[in-house]
Amino acid sequence: MIYLDYSATTPVSFEVLDSYNKTSREFIGNPNSLHSLGRKSNELLKSATKQISDLLKVMESEIIYTSGATESNNMALIGVALAKHKRGKHILVSKLEHPSIYKICDYLRSIGFTIDYIENDGDGLIDFDDLKNKIKDDTILVSVNAVNSEVGIRQPLKFIRQIIRKVNPETIFHSDMTQALGKTTVCLNDVDIASFSAHKIYGPKGIGLLYKNSKIKLVPLEYGSGKSNELKPGTPALPLIVAMAKAIRIALTDLDKKERFITRLNEKIVKELTSKYPNVKINNTKYSIPHILNISLGNIKPETFINALAEKEVYISTNTACSSGELSSSVLALYNDKQRAASTIRISLSHLTTTDEINQFLNYFQVVYNKLNIN
End-to-end CA, the chain: 28
Nearest distance in Å: CB 44, ligand PMP: 23
Give residues in contact with ligand PMP (CB under 6 A).
68-70, 98, 100, 145, 149, 176, 178-179, 197, 199, 208, 320-322
Task: State which residue, 292 or 300, has the beta carbon closest to ligand PMP.
Answer: 292
Task: State which residue, 53 or 197, has the beta carbon closest to ligand PMP.
Answer: 197
Contact criterion met (CB below 8 Å) for 159 and 110: no
For 208, list phi and psi in degrees, rounded to 5: -155, -170
Q: Taking the mean position of all CA atoms in its chain, how far away is CA 124?
A: 16
- Strands (DSSP E) found in the chain: 2-3, 63-66, 90-94, 114-118, 139-143, 172-176, 193-197, 208-212, 281-282, 292-296, 314-315, 344-348
Task: State which residue, 19 or 197, has the beta carbon closest to ligand PMP.
Answer: 197
- How far is 185 from 2, CA to CA, in rounded Å? 27
Nearest distance in Å: CB 69, ligand PMP: 3
Task: State which residue, 281 or 291, has the beta carbon closest to ligand PMP.
Answer: 291
Task: State which residue, 89 or 291, has the beta carbon closest to ligand PMP.
Answer: 291
Does residue 187 have an active-site annotation?
A: no
Strands 90-94 and 139-143: parallel
Among 17, 55, 250, 322, the active-site one is 322
Q: Which residue in 129, 188, 190 sits closest to 162, CA to CA?
A: 190
Nearest distance in Å: CB 262, ligand PMP: 17
DSSP 353: -
Using CB atoms, what's the residue nearest to ligand PMP? Answer: 68
- Return the number of other C-beta atoms located less than 10 Å from residue 215's C-beta: 8
Q: Which residue in 63, 55, 24, 54 sits closest to 41, CA to CA?
A: 24
Taking the alpha carbons of 349, 152, 197, 189 in that order, is the dihedral positive or negative? Answer: positive
Nearest distance in Å: CB 196, ligand PMP: 8
Nearest distance in Å: CB 177, ligand PMP: 8
Residues involved in catalysis:
322
